[in-house]
Chain A
């Protein structure tokens, strides 16, 4: 194959509405040859891949860029900005617009806007199987004639038509060789003369339009497009002022005569132009108005006033059960593999700092994160299935009214559930799931409160404390913890939305796509992408933080005199054991004494380490919430990963290695500790629910928003957690 590839320079954009099958088409075109590309200036992730166009003289490789799904090319949302900037700045050789041919009229709205820009455009009439099933008929040849854009029938799910599509795009790109041919639509007797005048001004000013058609700039100014208006002002203030004056004048005139804004008139004429095409192209030979479609019938149950919420609860429960039941064995295998790796490394390496670093720092830290991979893969798979089937849109639809009270959006439910809305999720995929939110304010608020949910790593902390202080009512404690997390998330969201993330709620207007059976390959690609993201982080960020934390808990280590004192004690016990063995005796008490010396030594070493000193120093403040220095170290460790809390507490309580899964002995020790009370346990539960997200979550939050907001989450959540913990501790003390 290698020799057949001649060049690698052509870029083809893939655009389309959400739910039109664009991503499926991208996967069909590029297969596994894709990677995530970040375009400058936008936070939206765009994917790139390449495909080979078969042609005379061998194959030609082309780059395919998957643009975010949008309904329009205005610049209101990040997605629209990203798509538009790509078209204007990158100037792809051609664009394939994937249309849901079953809703051709609305899907052509975006296509027409791309035509107005003039980029060489190929129309992919996708979902032709559904069109035929619904008794419709589309005259593709006529559509090509009327629009001047090659129209190709496709079914992305089965890959049907993808080769023709690629050839058409390649052929068009070659033929047009970078020339843009903007489409002229008449915008009626009021706007057309103004547009002509504007076009003349813009053409003369030269600099204004840059690479885009002058008339298009005029339309954007009439539509009140802020980013284009700003660019014009910067390029030529004088001409921009004249253009804006023209736009203001015609807007005032339209408001008086038609009581409509120019952008509404423009949309009206665009739809008129489209209707002129679809009237001729789409026929409904078997139209049957009474026929209830399968999807609508499912909605009558799945979004029913009573049955709907019940079904939703059941589906969420099933996702949860399936994830943890199916994930249990593979998770144990992976964790077992890391335990084996740790033991092998311990046996193979000479004792000392390097071994400690490799075993306790790297293998334990990275293994702790990778151990969750099977669970996360299954959860991602199920959630991708819910998304691709169209059910998530229904969840948002049903819950929007409740979430809106707290300044969130119906779609916020997905991140909450993934992050542990039902105890046992993970905040990292939860934060990633906020991508489904199209409005930046609501996305940010959701992102900031998602880590409150009871993730799988926090569960052992609560179980251990419940076992120690509320024996017998562990299930009740867990239920209360989950409920508290939800209440906290919603209330804090409300607080944030009325202070730092203020702003009107964005419109909900959302498509409810017909239910579709997800394709297995699509689900696998989604699952793999998200899981790989997670695993890569374990190899980079988590590795670094594990090493850092290990160092903080190891250095500077015991002072020489204390170390030799422990050595002497250990040597003393060892001598007595040797003496006893020589006499053929086995004294179990001596073995225990030896363990006791080692445990005391590790506790003192920990207290002398940087982390230990910090823990002791923090006691001055943390005493208010009832936390001693051991708890402090554990909580600081929890900043790296919540799994660390229980294991660090174990180390700090002289147990040496404590298995996070088996928290019983630690809970006994905690209950016996006179400096740790029931009130402190309650305060600790509240603190762990609320305080700073773990390091992986922080990195994810920063990637989904910015480091500023990740830092905000860390300080704000910890502050809130501390205030709540102090309040709980002081109140609980009054009653005990």
Chain B
């Protein structure tokens, strides 16, 4: 259960569930506005040519964020 990693460390195509979002202030709010909340399942679907930013697939849509922003998001791998 306690195999949490930050989103930056996640592999492409790995299924993940968000444990916590540590960002505060404007960044925290922007992340939440986009629906990145604890419990939400995400998959890293790609990385930009210079490996930053990363593209995330949520259930209904895709969004991009920088590695420095992904650092604030703690995730755990989901089986299956």
Interface residues of A (CB under 8 A from B): 71-72, 74, 76, 100, 102-106, 109, 261, 263-264, 267-268, 271, 295-296, 299-300, 303-306, 308-309, 393, 397-398, 400-402, 404, 410, 506-514
Partner of A303, one of B21, B48, B52: B48
Q: In the complex, what residue of chain A is closest to B26 when comparing beta carbons? A: A76
Partner of A400, one of B28, B45, B57, B66: B66
Partner of B34, one of A71, A303, A309, A410: A71
Distance, CA A103 to CA B36, complexed state (A):
13
Q: Which residues of B contact A393 (CB under 8 A)?
A: 64
B1: CB under 8 A from chain A? no
Is A109 in contact with B49, judged by CB distance below 8 angstroms?
no
14 A–B contacts, CB within 8 A, in A order: A72-B29, A72-B33, A74-B29, A105-B60, A296-B45, A393-B64, A401-B49, A507-B26, A507-B65, A507-B69, A508-B65, A509-B30, A510-B63, A512-B63
Q: Which residues of A contact B29 (CB under 8 A)?
A: 72, 74, 76, 263, 267
Distance, CA A86 to CA B17, complexed state (A):
38
Distance, CA A308 to CA B21, complexed state (A):
30
Is B49 in contact with A299, judged by CB distance below 8 angstroms?
no
Q: Which residues of B contact A400 (CB under 8 A)?
A: 48, 52-53, 66
Q: Which residues of A contact B35 (CB under 8 A)?
A: 103, 105-106, 109, 271
Distance, CA A300 to CA B63, complexed state (A):
15
Give residues of chain B (16-49) contacting chain A, Cβ–Cβ below 8 Å.
21, 24, 26-35, 37-38, 45-49
* Beyond A103-B58, A267-B29, 4 extra complex contacts between A and B, CB < 8 Å: A71-B30, A103-B60, A105-B60, A507-B66
Q: Which residues of B contact A512 (CB under 8 A)?
A: 55, 62-64
Given contacts A71-B34, A507-B69, A509-B34, contact A303 B62 (CB under 8 A): no
Is B57 in contact with A296, judged by CB distance below 8 angstroms?
yes
Distance, CA A104 to CA B30, complexed state (A):
18
Is B69 in contact with A103, judged by CB distance below 8 angstroms?
no
Given contacts A264-B32, A271-B35, A299-B46, contact A509 B52 (CB under 8 A): no
Is B50 in contact with A401, judged by CB distance below 8 angstroms?
yes
Q: Which residues of B contact A104 (CB under 8 A)?
A: 60
Q: Which residues of A contact B28 (CB under 8 A)?
A: 261, 263-264
Tell me the smallest distance from the CB of B77 to a CB of chain A, in Å: 16
Tell me the smallest distance from the CB of B46 to a CB of chain A, in Å: 6
Is B60 in contact with A514, judged by CB distance below 8 angstroms?
no
Is B63 in contact with A509, judged by CB distance below 8 angstroms?
yes
Distance, CA A510 to CA B27, complexed state (A):
12
Partner of A401, one of B26, B48, B61, B62: B48
Given contacts A263-B29, A309-B49, contact A102 B69 (CB under 8 A): no
Partner of A261, one of B24, B46, B59: B24
Q: Which residues of B contact A71 (CB under 8 A)?
A: 30, 33-34
Partner of B65, one of A309, A404, A509: A509
Is B46 in contact with A509, judged by CB distance below 8 angstroms?
no
Given contacts A271-B35, A397-B53, contact A507 B27 (CB under 8 A): yes
Partner of A271, one of B26, B37, B46, B49: B37
Tell me the smallest distance from the CB of A508 to a CB of chain B, in Å: 5
Q: Which residues of B contact A74 (CB under 8 A)?
A: 29, 33
Distance, CA A271 to CA B21, complexed state (A):
14
Tell me the smallest distance from the CB of A551 to a CB of chain B, in Å: 51
Q: Which residues of B contact A514 (CB under 8 A)?
A: 61-62
Given contacts A512-B64, A514-B62, contact A267 B37 (CB under 8 A): yes
Given contacts A109-B33, A511-B61, contact A268 B38 (CB under 8 A): yes
Q: In the complex, what residue of chain A is closest to B61 when comparing beta carbons? A: A103
Is B46 in contact with A303, judged by CB distance below 8 angstroms?
yes
Q: Which residues of B contact A402 (CB under 8 A)?
A: 50
Partner of A102, one of B47, B53, B61: B61
Is A510 in contact with B65, judged by CB distance below 8 angstroms?
yes
* A71, A393, A507, most chain B CB atoms within 10 A: A507
Distance, CA A72 to CA B50, complexed state (A):
31
Tell me the smallest distance from the CB of A701 to a CB of chain B, in Å: 26
Identify the 3 closest CB pairs spanning chains A and B, nearest first.
A103-B60, A401-B50, A106-B35
Q: Which residues of A contact B52 (CB under 8 A)?
A: 400-401
Is A510 in contact with B64, judged by CB distance below 8 angstroms?
yes
Given contacts A106-B60, A509-B30, A511-B63, contact A303 B55 (CB under 8 A): yes
* B24, B50, B57, B61, most chain A CB atoms within 10 A: B61
Q: In the complex, what residue of chain B is closest to A263 when comparing beta carbons? A: B29
Q: Which residues of B contact A267 (CB under 8 A)?
A: 29, 32-33, 37
Partner of A308, one of B32, B38, B49, B62: B49
Q: In the complex, what residue of chain A is closest to B55 when comparing beta carbons? A: A512
Q: Which residues of A contact B26 (CB under 8 A)?
A: 76, 506-507
Is A508 in contact with B66, judged by CB distance below 8 angstroms?
yes
Distance, CA A300 to CA B13, complexed state (A):
12
Distance, CA A261 to CA B25, complexed state (A):
9
Tell me the smallest distance from the CB of A115 to a CB of chain B, in Å: 16
Tell me the smallest distance from the CB of A341 to a CB of chain B, in Å: 50
Q: In the complex, what residue of chain A is closest to B23 when comparing beta carbons? A: A507
Distance, CA A393 to CA B29, complexed state (A):
21
Distance, CA A109 to CA B57, complexed state (A):
18
Is A398 in contact with B48, judged by CB distance below 8 angstroms?
yes
Is B50 in contact with A106, judged by CB distance below 8 angstroms?
no
Q: Which residues of A contact B37 (CB under 8 A)?
A: 267-268, 271
Q: In the complex, what residue of chain B is closest to A103 when comparing beta carbons? A: B60
Is B45 in contact with A299, judged by CB distance below 8 angstroms?
yes
Distance, CA A553 to CA B22, complexed state (A):
64
Q: Which residues of A contact B32 (CB under 8 A)?
A: 264, 267, 271
Partner of A398, one of B31, B49, B65: B49
Tell me the smallest distance from the CB of B57 to a CB of chain A, in Å: 7
Is B69 in contact with A299, judged by CB distance below 8 angstroms?
no
Distance, CA A306 to CA B66, complexed state (A):
19
Tell me the smallest distance from the CB of A692 to a CB of chain B, in Å: 34
Q: In the complex, what residue of chain A is closest to B60 when comparing beta carbons? A: A103
Q: Which residues of B contact A507 (CB under 8 A)?
A: 26-27, 30-31, 65-66, 69
Distance, CA A305 to CA B52, complexed state (A):
11
Tell me the smallest distance from the CB of A300 to a CB of chain B, in Å: 7
Q: Which residues of A contact B58 (CB under 8 A)?
A: 103, 106
Tell me the smallest distance from the CB of B72 to a CB of chain A, in Å: 10
Partner of A397, one of B21, B55, B60, B61: B55
Partner of B31, one of A261, A300, A509: A509
Q: Which residues of A contact B61 (CB under 8 A)?
A: 100, 102-103, 106, 511, 513-514
Tell me the smallest distance from the CB of B65 to a CB of chain A, in Å: 5
Q: Which residues of A contact B38 (CB under 8 A)?
A: 268
Q: Which residues of A contact B34 (CB under 8 A)?
A: 71, 106, 509, 511
Q: Which residues of A contact B50 (CB under 8 A)?
A: 401-402
Q: In the complex, what residue of chain B is closest to A309 when comparing beta carbons? A: B49
Distance, CA A309 to CA B32, complexed state (A):
30
Q: In the complex, what residue of chain B is closest to A390 when comparing beta carbons? A: B62
Distance, CA A410 to CA B38, complexed state (A):
28
Distance, CA A556 to CA B52, complexed state (A):
61
Q: In the complex, what residue of chain B is closest to A303 when comparing beta carbons? A: B46
